[in-house]
Amino acid sequence: MVLGAPSVEAVPWEQLRYAHVAAIRAALLERDLAPASINTTLAALRGVAASAWNLGYLPVEELERIRQVKRVHGSRLPAGRAVQAGELRALLEACAADPSVAGLRDAALIAVLYATGLRRGELAALHLADYSPAQRALTVRQGKGRKERLVPVSRGAAAALEDWIAARGPAPGLLFLPINKGGVIGTATLSTQAVYKALTRRAATAKLTEPISPHDLRRTFVGDLLDAGADIATVQQLAGHASVTTTARYDRRGEAAKQRAVDLLHVPRVERKPRPAR
């Protein structure tokens, strides 16, 4: 319950005060949530307070007190894991072994997720018109924060995408479409959950030893580009991150440097002596 209300919709937000925001911050800390998640919640509460003040429901002194609730410092490693090159090949080989149109779609889906780093919601919202074969690029119109961006597509991913488009047909509409069990391409929206399930299904067919998610491919896209020497500001723009600080969280180069550093140390191996028999 928040402010005594049974649901968020029923909260009298104009009654929000410093004590409430401070209590919410403390409760979130007790739940051991990531600092970024807590700070997002605090920012939302500050936004609510500002709106209440603009509407004349909240005194300015209460708004200033709420703004004094401190952010939570700290960071955590990004969720998910890096996808190895052999795993990516295995996924694409599993798609190639499927002679149905679903094999073409899923190969394009996986190739685009890895080669562009799109969020699965951004991928599901793409339209056929958003792909330019001449530019070999995708226009992402449903990016986070309503920010559009142009994302070039690598040659291998473009080839997989164009194979799918040839099977899909030239009809306007969404780029990636659902396919029923009979192999018929539908016209409805391919949900973000369907994107996740397609990847999970191909991972099972490829006999990968660890689960894989669309975000794992996005994380790998960022990490692989940085490992290859791409400028971090350029990678930030490609990934659609609001801040280069977010991109830096996916930078694996620092971890490799730390590993090389500790490998300079030598810990002698001392064999345990056998215990004397009694």
Predicted confidence at residue 2, as pLDDT, reads 60
Predicted confidence at residue 278, as pLDDT, reads 67
Assess if residue 42 is contained within a domain.
yes
Rounded CA separation 48/133 (Å): 44
From the list 20, 120, 219, 250, the catalytic residue is: 250
Predicted confidence at residue 135, as pLDDT, reads 95
pLDDT, one tens digit for every residue, the chain (278 residues)? 566 677 767 778 788 899 999 988 888 888 878 888 888 899 999 999 999 999 998 999 999 999 999 998 876 666 678 899 899 999 999 999 999 999 999 999 999 999 999 999 999 999 999 999 999 999 998 777 778 999 999 999 999 999 999 999 999 999 999 999 899 999 899 999 999 999 999 999 999 999 899 999 999 999 999 988 899 999 999 999 988 988 888 888 777 777 877 787 878 888 887 777 76
| Whether residue 140 sits in one domain with residue 27 | no
Predicted confidence at residue 156, as pLDDT, reads 95
| Whether residue 112 sits in one domain with residue 51 | no
From the list 119, 120, 202, 219, the catalytic residue is: 119
Residue 144 falls in the annotated catalytic set: yes
Residue 215 falls in the annotated catalytic set: yes
Domain limits at 119?
A: 86-212
| Whether residue 161 sits in one domain with residue 93 | yes
CATH of the domain at 172: 1.10.443.10
How many distinct structural domains can be found in the chain?
2
Assess if residue 240 is contained within a domain.
no
- Edge-first strand order for the sheet with 149-152 is 131-132, 137-140, 149-152
Long-range contacts of 174-180 (CB under 8 A, 24+ apart): 174/124, 174/125, 174/126, 174/127, 174/128, 175/126, 175/127, 175/128, 175/130, 175/131, 176/105, 176/108, 176/109, 176/123, 176/124, 176/126, 177/105, 179/100, 179/101, 179/102, 179/105
Structure tokens at 247: 């991109």
| Whether residue 207 sits in one domain with residue 90 | yes
From the list 89, 144, 147, 197, the catalytic residue is: 144
Predicted confidence at residue 159, as pLDDT, reads 96
pTM comes to 0.73
| Whether residue 155 sits in one domain with residue 60 | no
Assess if residue 19 is contained within a domain.
yes
Residue 250 falls in the annotated catalytic set: yes
Rounded CA separation 39/97 (Å): 46
| Whether residue 132 sits in one domain with residue 57 | no
- Of the three residues 38, 67, 96, the one that is the final residue of a domain is 67
Assess if residue 55 is contained within a domain.
yes
From the list 17, 141, 215, 252, the catalytic residue is: 215
Assess if residue 75 is contained within a domain.
no
- Of the three residues 165, 195, 212, the one that is the final residue of a domain is 212
